[in-house]
Amino acid sequence: GQSLEQPSEVTAVEGAIVQINCTYQTSGFYGLSWYQQHDGGAPTFLSYNALDGLEETGRFSSFLSRSDSYGYLLLQELQMKDSASYFCAVRDEAGFQKLVFGTGTRLLVSP
């Protein structure tokens, strides 16, 4: 079966850098996605890695190593508004446009 593992919680201070890791198990891999969800809000798409390497989008970067079945989300210059839950996701093994989500990492940014 498929599974994704993320730390349940990460804490950091404003201005710092934090890395949220995700390891996955899946028989058919199409890429790793990241979503952000603020308390009471809906998940919003952050990034998608289909190939190995680093993808940068402003303060956020996402990395993928397919050989290690591992990826991470890197948040730089942390701001209070980055306090949220972050979910990694992979496509369902059947290959259709269904995503399987990890249980999420709660990031708490303190002053």
Q: Is 88 exposed, middle or buried (0-12, 13-18, 19+ CB in 10 A)?
A: buried
Q: Which is nearer to another protein, 30 or 70 (CB)?
A: 30
- Using DSSP's 3-state secondary structure scheme, residue 3 falls into strand
Residues numbered 81-100 forming contacts with another protein, rule: CB under 8 A = 87, 91, 96-100
71 within 8 A of 22, measured Cβ to Cβ: yes
**Of the candidates 44, 52, 68, 108, which one interacts with another protein according to CB under 8 A?**
44
95 within 8 A of 30, measured Cβ to Cβ: yes
Q: Which is nearer to another protein, 63 or 87 (CB)?
A: 87
Q: Which residues bind another protein (CB under 8 A)?
A: 30-31, 33, 35, 41-45, 48, 50, 87, 91, 96-104
